[in-house]
Amino acid sequence: MKTLPKGANAPLSSAGTVRIELCWPPNRDTLDVVCFAVGADGRIPNDDWFVFYNQLQAPGGVVALSTPAAGRAEIRVQPEHLPAGVDRLVIAAALSHGAFRDLIGARLTTTPATGEPLAFELTEAGDEQALIFAELYRHGAGWKLRAVGQGFRGGLQPLAEHFGVAVAEEASSGPPPSDPAPPMPIPLESAPSPTSERHRRARPGWLTWSLALLILLATATGAIWMFAPDWLERPGELWAEARERFSPDPSTGVTLDPPQPPPATAERDDGPTAWRRLPTLYQAPTCPWEDAQVFERYHALGDNYVRILQRVERSNKLLGKWRNELRQLTSGCAAPFIDGNRQEAEQLGQLPIAAWMDESIKLNNCAGLLIKRLDKELNQESRPIILQRLVREADRARNLESDLTDIARDLAYLRNKTARLLDGFQENIEACGH
């Protein structure tokens, strides 16, 4: 058996079934092992090619996942039967709790039907909750295995989104809960208990309801006699007028067409996220900056993100303080109170949150392109020293992309929070009569 260091690759016989086994200490946290079958763009063709605990095999069974025992997962792959659109199989795992630094020593073994088995042992990891162990990728007419050992922050969801999986907001990285207990059987009808008889007798009967209805009718008649006595003098005219007012006019009636079935040529998509897909015009991402400029702008983005966060938190505390003061006022608002709310609203409205959100999206595109370029160089490289450098650069690029995703999400939250704060300051001003 040949052991590969991190970043190294080796040819792999693609004849027959390739068995990939991932083992870790069974007394540690449970790993959720997954496989992404991705194309040349680094994304899965559709959700059917994301193999995980809720979908144990890809179409045709060419990739199948199983967990035969605690601390062990197995993926069986038929490389010869994979469609031409699948260029890589990414073997990864995620933790619901803890970090991969606690799973040092986890071992991945790849055993082809013919040829020498290949192994990779995890010797270093940080506080990541997801990790890419290895990749099977096309190389010429055959296949190769590369030991990756790349951590990914945030767990399974950001890792899956990186490879094009549409993850629902409520999705979690843990396996599905066990089947709920069956409902209690309904007991057979039996003799009523004294308690049930007593409750039955206590229910109001028809006589009680009739008496209540008569009282209501008498009350209504008395009210009409007191406030509109002319209604009682001409009941026939009143009834005719009501019929004329509320009866529909046949000449102006509106007819509703029955619902039409969907067109016969409508495409059908039974994927788990089909209802959220909309036809869009795809535009390939671009990056207007060099790699060094990307990291410089990323640091500037981080500094400004911290300033925006601090400024919004300051405004949030001021709004709470001024609302409490407003509740305690017994007379008109003082001029400093009104001016303070106006100045705070004006300064908060000038925060360039939208501009920095656009910057984070552009930088995220750059990080994605950088990762693809480094992955391509890794696929073509075999010299150990250069491989180590490329692996370090790929790690840095993936961490960059993960951080930018988090910052963009936080900025969107701060933008919404800023809008709510502006409404709050305006409410304070209006409450003072200005």
The strand pair at 9-12 and 142-152 is best described as: antiparallel
How many C-beta neighbours within 10 Å does residue 150 have? 22
Structure tokens at 425: 């300051």
Separation between Cα atoms, residue 317 and residue 312, nearest integer Å: 9
For the record, the structure tokens of 93 come out as 């795992």
Mean pLDDT by 10 residues, the chain (434 residues): 86 87 83 92 90 93 91 93 92 89 91 91 87 90 88 83 73 45 38 41 55 72 62 57 49 37 44 44 79 92 91 92 88 89 92 92 92 89 84 88 88 90 92 83
For the chain, domains (ranges, CATH) are 2-163 (2.60.60.30), 291-431 (no CATH)
Hey, what are 268's tokens? 């059908």
Helix (H) or strand (E) holding 133: strand 130-139
In whole angstroms, give the CA distance from residue 431 to residue 326.
8
Q: What order of strands is seen across the sheet that includes strand 118-121? A: 2-3, 118-121, 107-111, 18-23, 72-77, 63-69
Distance of CA 45 to the CA centre of its chain: 19
Q: Does the model's pTM come out above 0.75?
A: no
